[in-house]
Amino acid sequence: MKNVMLPAVAMLALAFVLFIGLPMGTTANLQAEEAKASKESSQSVEGVDQAAVKRARQKVGELDNIFKQTIVLITDKYVHGDDDFAAGSAAVLLFKNISDSGETKIRLIDATGDPYEPENVAKDSFEKSGIKKLKKGAQQHEQVVVKDDSSYLRVMTPVPVVMEKCVMCHAHYADVAEGAPIGAISYTFPIE
Ligand code: HEC
């Protein structure tokens, strides 16, 4: 079994630093896709205050950092066996409660094709194309959407296998290439 262990710091760096090790062809594809995505999103962002988009992006980044640090900390300190309450389960429950109680919607989803819970998968076209993009090495997938006169920033960030313990319950993570995402966090955040 191949253990993929990265310290939390490296994981966070992965979450925020652009992945530069891609082969040229893939990078070019990615850039083309990003250009297309930003063109698509710029069509839907007309009239949306760019400074507010930037603020929303910053807040999502802060939340993402807190959540990922928390998942690693809980797994490290509290999860000892496969019948312990998993950080993944805690995250799914926390995100559900946050989503039910306000305008911010958050989901933890699978990127391997083999989720623990069938519910935790990419659902709409934004999430489906996001998973494809993150698996190619992108560190972020983003779109501004306008719904019922309100605008929202949608963001997806990758979740890599950061600890050996993840494999205890998700055995197939052992087959995923080091640093590749096994999941993603999907945010819908109000732009105000
Ligand atoms: C103790 C067992 C256990 C450990 C350890 C564990 N998970 Fe999970 N994980 C689960 C369970 C159970 C769910 C489903 C939670 C739900 O939907 O309520 C889940 C869900 C997930 C999901 C959502 C997709 C899916 O498969 O349903 C991701 C992504 C995830 N875990 C990543 C991780 C990562 C990364 C680690 C290591 C930091 C980890 N997990 C450690 C049990 C575990």
Output DSSP code: residue 128: H
Q: Is 37 a residue whose pLDDT tops 80? A: no
166 lines ligand 1 (CB under 6 A): yes
Task: Name the nearest CA neighbour of 9 among 65, 86, 82, 87.
Answer: 65
More confident call, 108 vs 23:
108
What mean pLDDT do residues 39-44 have? 45
Q: Is 161 a residue whose pLDDT tops 80? A: yes
Which strand ranges, in their side-by-side order, compose the sheet holding 105-110? 105-110, 181-190, 150-160, 141-147
pLDDT band, residue 18 (cuts 50/70/90): very low
Nearest CA, atom 10, ligand 1: 88
The pTM of this model reads: 0.81
Q: What number does the ligand 1 atom closest to the CA of 75 have?
A: 38
Yes or no: say if 158 and 15 are a contact pair by the CB < 8 Å rule.
yes
> What is residue 39's predicted lDDT score, i.e. its pLDDT?
45
What distance in angstroms lies between residue 21's CA and the mean position of ligand 1's atoms? 27
Yes or no: say if 183 and 157 are a contact pair by the CB < 8 Å rule.
no
pLDDT tens digits, 65-108: 999 999 999 999 999 988 899 888 999 999 999 999 999 999 99
Cα separation, 64 vs 159, whole angstroms = 10
Q: Is 20 a residue whose pLDDT tops 80? A: no
DSSP states along 61-112: HHHHHHHHHHHHHHHHHH--STTS--HHHHHHHHHHHHHHHSS-EEEEEESS
> What is residue 22's predicted lDDT score, i.e. its pLDDT?
32
